[in-house]
Amino acid sequence: MNCFSQRLWRTSPIQGSSSKNELVSSKPARMNGWSWPPQIFQVIGWLMFCYLAIVSFGIYIPLLPLPWNYVLYSLTGITFTVHFLTHIAAVTIDPADASVRAKQSYSRPMPLFDRTKQQHVIQDLHCYLCDVKVGPKVKHCGVCNKCVEDFDHHCKWLNTCVGGRNYWYFFVALSSATLGVLLLVVVLLFVSIQHYLDPNSLRTAPQYGLLGNGTWLVFLPLTPIKTSSSGLLILAFITVMLSITCLLLLCHLLGFHFYLFYKGISTFDYVKMQRQKETRRRDIEPGNANPVKNNKKVRQKQESSIDCEPALSQSSSSCKVDSNEALSSRLSGSICTEMENFKKSAARENSFHYGTENPKENTPREMSLSEIKSWKPDADEEAQWPSIKSVDAVPGVQDPLGSSVMTPDDS
């Protein structure tokens, strides 16, 4: 991956300017989930909790036959009570870092965290907005406008941050809510099925003694209110749809946090990893050059070198070039061509017969450096060297180390 294509984030104030002066001075920090204004999701959550509690304890659990109504009263009552208490605790506890809680009065205005002007406000364990020293797992929340200890995420349903001080209250509230809604769905399905199969099994309360089969009572046993059979079923259908929707959301969130437990990371760590994956995915999109493939091609081009073996011997003497890659320069090609011609000339001279020598016993003689210097090609060989003529200075001999080219003048 090309490191020059990555954006660099500034994590400390620009030299000569203050981080606080760059941010808009506006609202004070939020203390907890009860701080004004409330979130719309927070209001929806409380309304849903109240609705499900009234419907379950006031309408459908009293219709269950003995002893199942007492069992469901106990189980549902425990789960709803645990959820209510832990929800209150998670909303009320201030998740801020200890240094922020010791210094912050939550009354004076603080600079608003503006991501368009500065990405990070914590540098070297110092927050430039809260102006305090913080721990290594602290993050400054832009919504709450304060540093949160062991930051996990900002929860809109609680209207506060979830950190190290209130995470377990949040997790227990989430688990109890999931279990409570699951029990309610089971009760609603049982009542709906029994209403068609055996409605008399649901009319075990003594208040049904003088009533007809088409009349049902809700809010038993304290304040019985008459209703119709169709009204009871329509309300059950609406409640089942809402409960299943809540159950899907809660199970998804609970399963996600179990996954985080398994990985040993927080929600914030997971979000950072996903952003890094998204950045890498954008880098390899079709619009951008593939850095992995391009790097391989560059390395192949760099590693593909001309393997010249100018050893003038009887067995072999050749110039090998990588067949998959073109020559890196015309000068290198001319060197290899000249070496091949040296071989041809040596072979031709070895074929001559001298007066006192036996042609059959003739062996190739080695060429000295002086002979190589004085050697000149004939007209036929010059015609085969168009690439050498285009070069101003033709090298004579390649340096044995392969790092430079020697000319006749250099020797």
Catalytically annotated residues: 155
Nearest to 124, CA basis, from 115, 134, 114: 134
Nearest to 104, CA basis, from 71, 69, 140: 140
Q: 270: buried, middle or exposed (CB in 10 Å: 19+, 13-18, 0-12)?
A: middle
Instruction: Decide: 318 and 309 in contact? Cβ < 8 Å.
Output: yes
CA-CA-CA-CA dihedral for 65, 71, 77, 80, to nearest 10: -100
Amino acid at 370: S
The residue written with tokens 């997971």 in the block is 270
Residue 37: is the preceding peptide bond cis (ω within 30°)?
yes
Instruction: Decide: 298 and 274 in contact? Cβ < 8 Å.
Output: no
Task: Provide the 3-class DSSP secondary structure of residue 210.
Answer: coil
List CB contacts of 322: < 8 A, sequence separation 6 or more: 304, 305, 306, 307
Q: 7: buried, middle or exposed (CB in 10 Å: 19+, 13-18, 0-12)?
A: exposed
